[in-house]
Structure 1
Amino acid sequence: MPLHISRAMAGARAIDQSRGPDYHLRNTGQNPKDTPMFQTFAASTRPEDGPPRLAALRANLRAAGVDGYILPRADAHQGEYVAACDERLSWLTGFTGSAGFCIVLPDRAGLFVDGRYRVQARLQCAPDFTPVNWPETAPATWLRDACPNGAVIGFDPWLHTPTEIETLTKGLEGSNIGLRRMSNQIDPLWTDRPAPPMAPARPYPEHLAGLSSIEKRANLGQTLTQNGQRAAVLTQPDSICWLLNIRGADLPRLPVLQGFAIVHEDGRVDLYTAPSKCAGLEWDDGVHIRPTEAFAPALRSLSGPVRLDKGTVPLAVVDLLQEGNVEIAYMQDPCLMPKARKTGAELASARAAHLRDGAAMVEFLCWLDRQASALLKNPDHIVTEIDVARHLEQCRVATGLLEDLSFDTIAGSGPNGAIVHYRVTEDTNRRLLPGDLMLVDSGGQYLDGTTDITRTIAIGPVGTLEVECFTRVLQGMIAISRARFPRGVAGSHLDALARYPLWLAGHDYDHGTGHGVGAFLSVHEGPQRLSRISTVPLAEGMILSNEPGYYREGRFGIRIENLIAVRKGAAPEGGDARDWLEFETLTLAPIDRRLIQVSMLSADERAWLDAYHARVAVLLSPLVSGPTAVWLQTACQPI
């Protein structure tokens, strides 16, 4: 699933608000047609709700004495995912994309969205909300133009990081535009706002984690001591769950418990959350559960220096520490790097999860191929995007081990495939037609791993342009897969490898080439990425996506995605005696050979693809049904 090359002011993936917080697919016993996932398709946005809500917000802002308000997608945890009760941006604007923010002024409301969401924003929002191309247009630049005589702009400090507000403040220097902290302005208007999630947490098996929570906490305590820090504040749920070896169900698609944590230099952890969520967990003496309302007083009473991640902590946490005159040390979340570098046990589990998920994908791809054949023989045969997404979920449910999807399935046919993070609804649901490209981006949450795979499939013969573009995307994906690089190389160094074949034809795509992936955690995990702006050196154990694409608005979308893991590589023959790294491909599923212009591929590219398909066939054939195994052998033939 693509992640944009920059972090939105508050990025998050759109969620299914109809899904209960403790929902697990394999425990429902329901027909997939009746599961909450199907309700995702039935739900549609209502652009007509936006104007009256916008008017009510403006009235509140006038009463509060401010000229504008910044509404991000973020919640108080500053993660990439939000609960239904925190979908404030969607409530106001109708926009359900996973990243963006809105700046509301008396005479205009700018909806800032990146390249993935510009088509979607125009479709979902009333004309009262003007899409702004972000990050090309910075919020400070937009405000300077919109408020030439100055203004006071309000914001909720729980929904913004220090980095965001500092960047905005610097951009507004000399403009006579000021920023003011204020209480949240959406919550009083949202009369039917859902209740906060209260799902119980559960322990995560140590044999899958590879390290006990005691070991992780001891290591983190040593890190704090080495840096002269007395404590660290953790606000991102996946960091907290990783550290404590627990998982939750507070967020759809992301198995985490929402809360805050203070980690002390001796490894003790105070976890601030609703105590009922932890009622079934057994803790050692190093973990103490505190109610959420005790978090603010605890911050004021800490002894510094206290470590904060400036890019992820809410500004309100900084304010509370400063109220207590607590010294602050700004450094990266201490869980990020050890969480990103998977243990041997986590990597072994990821391989098992991808083997299982690959078999489910092959069953699905075989089914889709049969549907396409039926459609070509009979124009009255109907298969829709909802049918595609539903059947893929059924294939994953059939494994018996699916906990949830890792994100809402993207199933876009024809022009819908050009909407990078398209989510089908009953209103947008489209029949597949002969000559379509069908883009399917999906993933599963299994106890032993998180998967994310994209395949683009031909529904019958397609045009020359589609084949050429698909082949260039494939060349970029292969280039990343085959990359061997010295230690110290970051995602920004490799990103161009994936884009170069497209650049040769004057094409590009508006999302990063790859994002990090967690271990039964977030499908978008930092700090590692394959993107133009990522300076984090890649290291053994990191899992990333490899997903170049190409999108022709109004016609088609193409993306090919595998997950890859960084491992130590052998020195090239005759090369320098350096420390080399390379990628192991985890994802197992055939790539549509009918869309490949073989003459465009080099010998090395053909060799890689044939070897990959041979591996897919050998590993997955024993795991699928007989007819699917026959189909798989054909799909994996050498080109």
Structure 2
Amino acid sequence: MECQYVATQRGGVALVFEGHRYNKVRDGKDGTVYWRCSRDRQCPGRAVTVNNRVKKANNKHNHPPEAMLRNGTNNSASAAAGSGYSASVGPMGSSNVSAQHDSSASMRLPSSIAIQEVLEAQNAAAAAAASLPAIVTETLKYLAVASGNQQMAAFASSMASLSSPALESFERSMGRAGLLPGAIEYLSDSSDEQPLNMALKNTGQLVKKLRDLMKSATHVSEAIQAYIIPSVDAHQSEYIAECDNRLRFISGFTGSCGTAVITLDEAALWTDGRYFLQAEKQLDQNWLLMREGIPGTPTQGEWLCKVLSSGSRVGVDPMIIPFNQWQSLSSQLENCGNSLVPVAQNLVDLLWEERPPLPANAVFPLPASFAGQTWQEKVVEVRKEMNKKQASALVLTALDEIAWLLNLRGSDIDYNPVFFAYCVVTLDNLYLFVDEGKLIPETLKHLHLDASPIHENSGLLIEQRPYKLILDFLKWSVSQQQGKIWISNQSSYSLVSLIPQSKRITDPNPVLIKKTIKNSVEIECMRRAHDAVALCEFFAWLEEEITKSEITELSAAAKLEEFRKTQEEYVGPSFPTISASGPNAAVIHYRPTEKANRRLTPNEIYLCDTGTQYRDGTTDITRTVHLGTPSDYEKECYTRVVKGHINLASAIFPNLTKGQMLDSFARKPLWDVGLDYRHGTGHGVGMFLNVHEGPVGISLRYRSDDPGLQPGMILSNEPGFYEDGQFGIRIENLVLVTKADTKYNFGNKDYLKFETITLVPIQTKLLDPSLLTEEEIEWLDSYHQTCREVVGKALKEQGRTNGYQWLMKETQPLG
């Protein structure tokens, strides 16, 4: 049957077949196109077209055809009837719209619309209504194109001359009067206009107000032509407190990595491959999405040089831009005649009337039985490194570094046990810049701030200062210190620029490296602190209940948390659980919400990426399962991801090898058939600290501060594959870097390997064994035997029969 099409809000084409509307999933070979039902992401309705003819459609929709729904009834007889509308436009700035219900008129789609006709009509409507608010614009597109009504097409053209206030008034009155119900429902039903897991934020007014501030002499010493909004806080944290979520406030984008740049005419947002799909869904029409890492995407500096006139000033809050980024961007801008300037008052904060206050949660001590060393022992080691560099002071600004050094933890940032503070270590004293009200009695005693006995000349006295005094103290310290001051070049520009270059050391600091290399106690704690028992219980429950009751992404995540809360030393999640079914799993950092909460079914893939903060360690694990019968393509993709995981887990490499050198080990099985993924393969993990811990990692991206892999480091091993609109696959374990016993030792380098410390079965039903080598099958069987021995013992000791039985079933040998 010949295809019928309508235009979509995004400028694409949707298929209409037997009253149902389908959005395109992907292009296949030889003119084949795959489509899915657009009304409901849980709807199993699918169609395939070949050369603009419907080849097949399964017609397994969980709702009536759209024509019936638009008319508010499930009666098939009423599907033939619709609503007729007549509209007239009054003088400039006013509009009169009347609705006449006519049982003989029909809102049904025309019987046949050729692609070229749709595109031509769509382009005409889009050009005529380019300045209209979204609902008006898309309503007119729908009525002009889909209904075939020539009068409505003329009306769409005339609407283009209305002023913006009149249009807004028209849109409001249309909503109040309940007019155009069919067209409005058309908009809300179209899933490729709706975010997978979040609402679109209209940012037009906010961006306009920010541009006004950029020109205001009250807030900037001289007008600026562009303003930069990073996603980080004053400590350059990846995950931030609500009060620092300026990027989300101004753009609506909720990813953990991004930078907005707003000029007087344009607004652009840069993010990496983890968030491409998410950003597409969350950014409204005011924004350009810049996909970092994709060939042809300009850097922020390149783009600014292109869109700004020479002599332009680019502003940024100097407290939330790292010094090294300032240097690089400033150099780029100067080369094209522009300048980067500090704006002391954050302009977003001026707009954010209900900005939350800085958290003031309690800071609590971490016992040496978990930390492996006292904070005093750590300070002595750090000072030895300072002497080697002839540094008289060390300034710590990263929150996890301060928490690690002083064996303290907090809860100022969700999922990360850190607290807002700065720390300055000199050869004689320690200064902790933290608000006094956060220090509970146990913490005061731990730091000897409660007047408990300590030798005053030991050099281990801590002086507590108010958090906000760090800038004043650093200015004073520069004038007092005779030696050099050690501060990371990733600290904020405001802090680093206070120290003259001749007195500045910006190498990676000793705390950064020591924190990354776990001591024997920390390693033993991290071995204990895994979620294996809870996850075995969870997947056993999921398999049992999937066909008996309605399980959603949110209810599944909540159930998993129930199981984890029963484990010793449980504190909370280490990040929001990524509980993603079917096409949602293709969004790398998907997060279910009440508004977008998909039901789990046995007919598609389910991806669960989850982690926990225990007092004796931090976990991060991903498993991908299929509770029904996977397709051959799903099995091939899954098998290749597992092969890559095994490749990396089995690697042997020289001491101090950069993680970048190992990344291709995990990608090769995918590369072999032209597949890949848009995220790093591994990241460092803290010990009851941040789940993403720098500076080590395994990624194609070069990191200048990567010290190289060393024994005692713990990282994730997490290759994946994502088919947009269909499924996502990721397998993630934590691995410990250990010394390898090799036959030779060329250059006396010492060689290293990974020991996998996460022990949860990898589903074998999703594997295609014909793609596995004997060595890979042997690795899987050995891994699963270890799961049986270690986790099986724990499950039996805790009396968790269901989890134990599931574990034994899922770890049957392949070989």
Q: Which of 562, 580, 587 is residue 394 of structure 1 equivalent to?
A: 562
Cα deviation, 1:132-162, whole Å, max 9, x if unaligned, reads 1124431111112222445211100000011
Q: Which amino acid aligns with 1:544?
A: L
Q: Which of 343, 346, 365 is residue 519 of structure 2 equivalent to?
A: 343
Larger Rg: 2
In 2, the alpha carbon distance for the partners of 1:68 and 1:165 equals 15
Give the aligned partner of residue 17 of structure 1.
Answer: none
Q: Which of 369, 380, 403 is residue 543 of structure 2 equivalent to?
A: 369
Residue 118 of structure 1 pairs with residue 276 of structure 2:
yes
Shift of 1:576: 8.9
Give the aligned partner of residue 323 of structure 2.
Answer: 162
Shift of 1:484: 1.5
Change over 3 Å in CA distance of 1:516–1:48 after alignment to 2: closer
Q: Which of 188, 204, 207 is residue 51 of structure 1 equivalent to?
A: 204
Cα deviation, 1:487-536, whole Å, max 9, x if unaligned, reads 13221111110000010010111111100000000101111111122453
Residue 306 of structure 1 pairs with residue 490 of structure 2:
no
Give the aligned partner of residue 253 of structure 2.
Answer: 95
Cα deviation, 1:306-332, whole Å, max 9, x if unaligned, reads 01110x21000023334xx98212111
Shift of 1:45: 4.9
In 1, the alpha carbon distance for the partners of 2:245 and 2:467 equals 20
Give the aligned partner of residue 383 of structure 1.
Answer: 551
Greater shift, 231-240 or 533-542, is seen at: 533-542
Q: Indicate if the aligned counterparts of 1:475 and 1:601 stay in contact, CA closer than 8 A.
A: yes
Give the aligned partner of residue 50 of structure 2.
Answer: none
Residue 108 of structure 1 pairs with residue 276 of structure 2:
no
Q: Which amino acid aligns with 1:526?
A: G
Give the aligned partner of residue 289 of structure 1.
Answer: 464
How does 1:577-588 map onto structure 2 within 5 Å? 579-588=750-759
Residue 601 of structure 1 pairs with residue 772 of structure 2:
yes
- SS of residue in 2 equivalent to 1:455: strand
Q: Which amino acid aligns with 1:567?
A: T
Change over 3 Å in CA distance of 1:369–1:135 after alignment to 2: same
In 2, the alpha carbon distance for the partners of 1:155 and 1:389 equals 39
Give the aligned partner of residue 60 of structure 2.
Answer: none
In 2, the alpha carbon distance for the partners of 1:410 and 1:169 equals 38
Q: What is the root-mean-square deviation of aligned Cα atoms in Å?
A: 1.8
Shift of 1:75: 0.7
In 1, the alpha carbon distance for the partners of 2:303 and 2:559 equals 44
Q: Which of 177, 181, 197 is residue 338 of structure 2 equivalent to?
A: 177
How does 1:354-503 map onto structure 2 within 5 Å? 354=530, 357-372=531-546, 374=547, 381-503=549-671
- SS of residue in 2 equivalent to 1:107: coil
- SS of residue in 2 equivalent to 1:307: strand
- SS of residue in 1 equivalent to 2:206: helix
- SS of residue in 2 equivalent to 1:515: strand
Residue 329 of structure 1 pairs with residue 505 of structure 2:
yes
Shift of 1:118: 1.1
Cα deviation, 1:324-365, whole Å, max 9, x if unaligned, reads x982121112211110110000000111112xx110111111
Cα deviation, 1:19-43, whole Å, max 9, x if unaligned, reads xxxxxxxxxxxxxxxxxxxxxxxx9
In 2, the alpha carbon distance for the partners of 1:238 and 1:515 equals 15
Residue 248 of structure 1 pairs with residue 416 of structure 2:
no
Q: Which amino acid aligns with 1:394?
A: E
In 2, the alpha carbon distance for the partners of 1:605 and 1:148 equals 58
Q: Which amino acid aligns with 1:488?
A: L
Q: Indicate if the aligned counterparts of 2:485 and 2:505 stay in contact, CA closer than 8 A.
A: yes
In 1, the alpha carbon distance for the partners of 2:334 and 2:355 equals 37
Change over 3 Å in CA distance of 1:331–1:447 after alignment to 2: same
Q: Which of 226, 240, 247 is residue 82 of structure 1 equivalent to?
A: 240
In 1, the alpha carbon distance for the partners of 2:745 and 2:257 equals 46
Shift of 1:46: 4.7
Give the aligned partner of residue 12 of structure 1.
Answer: none
Q: Indicate if the aligned counterparts of 2:237 and 2:399 stay in contact, CA closer than 8 A.
A: yes
Greater shift, 525-534 or 597-606, is seen at: 525-534
Q: Which of 140, 145, 153 is residue 301 of structure 2 equivalent to?
A: 140
Higher relative contact order (CA 8 A, sep 6+): 1
Q: Indicate if the aligned counterparts of 1:115 and 1:133 stay in contact, CA closer than 8 A.
A: yes
Q: Indicate if the aligned counterparts of 1:47 and 1:93 stay in contact, CA closer than 8 A.
A: no
Give the aligned partner of residue 47 of structure 2.
Answer: none
Change over 3 Å in CA distance of 1:194–1:638 after alignment to 2: same
In 2, the alpha carbon distance for the partners of 1:460 and 1:573 equals 48
Change over 3 Å in CA distance of 1:233–1:574 after alignment to 2: closer
Q: Which of 181, 202, 205 is residue 364 of structure 2 equivalent to?
A: 202
Q: Indicate if the aligned counterparts of 2:533 and 2:803 stay in contact, CA closer than 8 A.
A: no
How does 1:219-238 map onto structure 2 within 5 Å? 219-238=381-400
Q: Which of 491, 494, 499 is residue 316 of structure 1 equivalent to?
A: 494
In 1, the alpha carbon distance for the partners of 2:203 and 2:323 equals 29
Cα deviation, 1:360-404, whole Å, max 9, x if unaligned, reads 1111111122233x16xxxxx422111121111111112253201
In 2, the alpha carbon distance for the partners of 1:235 and 1:626 equals 48
Greater shift, 626-635 or 279-288, is seen at: 279-288
- SS of residue in 1 equivalent to 2:508: coil
Q: Which amino acid aligns with 1:566?
A: V
Q: Which amino acid aligns with 1:615?
A: T
Q: Indicate if the aligned counterparts of 2:225 and 2:308 stay in contact, CA closer than 8 A.
A: no
Q: Indicate if the aligned counterparts of 1:432 and 1:459 stay in contact, CA closer than 8 A.
A: no
In 2, the alpha carbon distance for the partners of 1:53 and 1:593 equals 50
- SS of residue in 1 equivalent to 2:349: coil
- SS of residue in 2 equivalent to 1:164: helix
Change over 3 Å in CA distance of 1:45–1:601 after alignment to 2: closer
Q: Indicate if the aligned counterparts of 2:392 and 2:485 stay in contact, CA closer than 8 A.
A: yes
How does 1:497-576 map onto structure 2 within 5 Å? 497-532=665-700, 533-534=702-703, 535-572=706-743
Q: Indicate if the aligned counterparts of 1:470 and 1:595 stay in contact, CA closer than 8 A.
A: yes
Change over 3 Å in CA distance of 1:520–1:211 after alignment to 2: same
- Could you tell me the percent identity over the aligned residues? 37
> How many residue pairs align between the two structures?
585
- SS of residue in 2 equivalent to 1:186: helix
Change over 3 Å in CA distance of 1:636–1:294 after alignment to 2: same
Q: Indicate if the aligned counterparts of 2:197 and 2:591 stay in contact, CA closer than 8 A.
A: no
Q: Indicate if the aligned counterparts of 1:222 and 1:265 stay in contact, CA closer than 8 A.
A: no
In 2, the alpha carbon distance for the partners of 1:329 and 1:486 equals 29
Q: Which amino acid aligns with 1:205?
A: P
Q: Indicate if the aligned counterparts of 1:300 and 1:326 stay in contact, CA closer than 8 A.
A: no
In 2, the alpha carbon distance for the partners of 1:603 and 1:335 equals 43
Shift of 1:574: 10
Q: Indicate if the aligned counterparts of 2:603 and 2:629 stay in contact, CA closer than 8 A.
A: yes
Q: Which amino acid aligns with 1:313?
A: S
Change over 3 Å in CA distance of 1:580–1:48 after alignment to 2: closer
In 2, the alpha carbon distance for the partners of 1:409 and 1:44 equals 13
Shift of 1:74: 0.9
- SS of residue in 2 equivalent to 1:112: strand
Shift of 1:575: 8.7
- SS of residue in 1 equivalent to 2:695: strand
Unaligned runs of 5+ in 1: 1-42, 376-380
